């Protein structure tokens, strides 16, 4: 009996190490410490590279790897999608899948990844606006597109031109989510803040259209959540109160008018950080606390559960659920100091147990 009891203790200990050990240990880094596998590539590409201009805005985990996007808001950002390399010396960023996949003015390469979406098949869908140096001197290097990377094989497998999907010259693409309907069709939804529109792209036919969801805004954030037997799109206008909800069934019908449901019209403006099944992660725009809304319950901004606090001078920019582990990845940074021209951005990824929500 004692022997069996000891075996059970060992198994429990191993499970706890898997959850709280190396792969789920909080990590932090400054700026963009680069890791290049090819020295020739280093000589060729890093001339003018400014790691202080690298700002990670979103992180996801697939298996034991963590990927971050760093939009080209400033000049001399080497790549815009990275694999985090962790070792005893700290954290480095490795261009992903390869450095050549980020070559400027090469329209087969990723120009400026502003958002990505990880699906259940291990595919990473990347929204590439084609506009670089967006903070100081925006330049259009290529038409906007969606790039698909298969994380299982580490390969860029598809490029989707969305420039004809009812975009305008001043379109401000910001977020992307992907839905597979019950028939197996795939739909891409991207937000266009300049018009308050949702861009819809149907993969099977290649057709695209747009649906006006709200008024124009400086930011338009979207996430997919479950609503009983169907899926809805949660839409947030930055600096505006209220959460808009759209049934994706209506979005997928090109000529239909999508019915809207609005929550918290008179509550504080929020920042949308991510979603997982029935849960939406957000924070009030003036606060660093990460809150969770269980969408099976009525929305009440004063009764949301607090699951994380970024800490002094830090702000949370994304929350992502690990599809294979009971943890959330929370990315915090002091990116506002970098945008003001100060030292490199301090980034921190914290792992939070889902049970705490």
Asked whether residue 14 carries a pLDDT value surpassing 60, the answer given is no
Asked whether residue 268 is assigned to any structural domain, the reply reads no
Distance CA 118, CA 355 (A): 22
Distance CA 350, CA 331 (A): 7
Asked whether residue 186 is assigned to any structural domain, the reply reads no
Asked whether residue 133 is assigned to any structural domain, the reply reads yes
pLDDT-derived band at 122 (thresholds 50, 70, 90) equals very high
pLDDT at 258: 63
Q: Who wins on pLDDT, 40 or 194?
A: 194
For 135-153, the pLDDT digits (tens) are 989 999 999 999 999 999 9
pLDDT at 339: 85
Asked whether residue 109 is assigned to any structural domain, the reply reads yes
Provide DSSP, 139-184. Answer: EE-S--EEEEEETTTTEEEEEEE-TTSS--TT--EEEEEEEE-TTS
pLDDT at 165: 67
pLDDT at 356: 59
Weakest mean pLDDT among 19-33, 108-122, 298-312, 335-349: 19-33
Asked whether residue 243 is assigned to any structural domain, the reply reads no
Asked whether residue 47 is assigned to any structural domain, the reply reads yes
Asked whether residue 353 is assigned to any structural domain, the reply reads no
pLDDT-derived band at 3 (thresholds 50, 70, 90) equals very low
Asked whether residue 228 carries a pLDDT value surpassing 60, the answer given is yes
Tokens at residue 237, please?
A: 């206008």
User: Number of structural domains, the chain?
Assistant: 1
Residue 187 Cα distances to 116, 148, 176, 199, 227, angstroms = 14, 13, 11, 10, 18
For 105, the domain range is 29-161
For 294-342, the pLDDT digits (tens) are 999 999 988 899 999 998 999 999 999 987 788 999 999 999 888 887 7
Give pTM, 2 decimals.
Answer: 0.90
Q: Is 30 helix (H, G, I), strand (E, B) or coil?
A: strand
Q: What angle do CA 213, 258, 116 make, to 5 degrees?
A: 55
Residue 85 Cα distances to 35, 82, 140, 270, angstroms = 8, 9, 31, 32
pLDDT-derived band at 6 (thresholds 50, 70, 90) equals very low
């Amino acid at each position: 009996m004692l022997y069996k009891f000891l075996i059970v203790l060992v198994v429990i200990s191993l499970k706890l190490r898997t959850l709280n050990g190396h792969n789920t240990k909080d990590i932090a880094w400054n700026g963009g410490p680069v890791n290049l596998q090819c020295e020739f590539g280093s000589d060729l590409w890093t001339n003018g590279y400014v790691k202080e201009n690298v700002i990670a805005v979103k992180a996801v985990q697939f298996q034991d790897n963590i990927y971050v996007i760093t939009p080209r808001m400033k000049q001399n950002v080497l790549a815009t999608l990275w694999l985090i390399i962790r070792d005893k010396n700290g954290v480095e960023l490795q261009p992903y899948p390869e450095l050549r996949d980020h070559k400027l003015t090469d329209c087969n390469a990723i120009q400026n990844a502003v958002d990505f979406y990880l699906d259940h098949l291990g595919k990473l869908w990347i929204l590439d606006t084609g506009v670089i140096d967006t903070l100081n001197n925006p330049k259009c290097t290529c038409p906007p597109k969606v790039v698909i990377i298969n994380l299982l094989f580490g390969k860029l497998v598809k490029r989707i031109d969305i420039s004809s999907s009812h975009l305008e010259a001043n379109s401000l693409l910001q977020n992307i989510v992907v839905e597979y309907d019950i028939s197996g069709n795939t739909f891409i939804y991207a937000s266009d803040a300049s018009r308050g529109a949702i861009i819809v792209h149907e993969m099977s036919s290649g057709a695209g259209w747009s649906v006006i969801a709200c008024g124009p805004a400086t930011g338009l954030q979207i996430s997919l959540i479950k609503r009983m037997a169907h899926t809805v799109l949660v839409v947030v206008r930055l600096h505006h109160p209220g959460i808009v909800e759209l049934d994706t069934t209506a979005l997928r019908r090109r000529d239909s008018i999508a019915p809207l449901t609005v929550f918290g019209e008179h509550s504080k403006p929020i920042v949308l950080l991510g979603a997982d099944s029935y849960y939406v992660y957000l924070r009030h725009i003036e606060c660093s606390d990460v809150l969770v809304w269980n969408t099976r319950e009525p929305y009440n901004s004063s009764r949301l559960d607090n699951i994380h606090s970024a800490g002094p001078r830090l702000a949370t920019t994304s929350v992502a659920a690990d599809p294979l582990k009971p943890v959330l990845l929370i990315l915090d940074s002091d990116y506002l100091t970098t945008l003001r021209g100060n030292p490199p951005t301090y980034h921190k990824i914290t792992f939070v147990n889902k049970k705490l929500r």
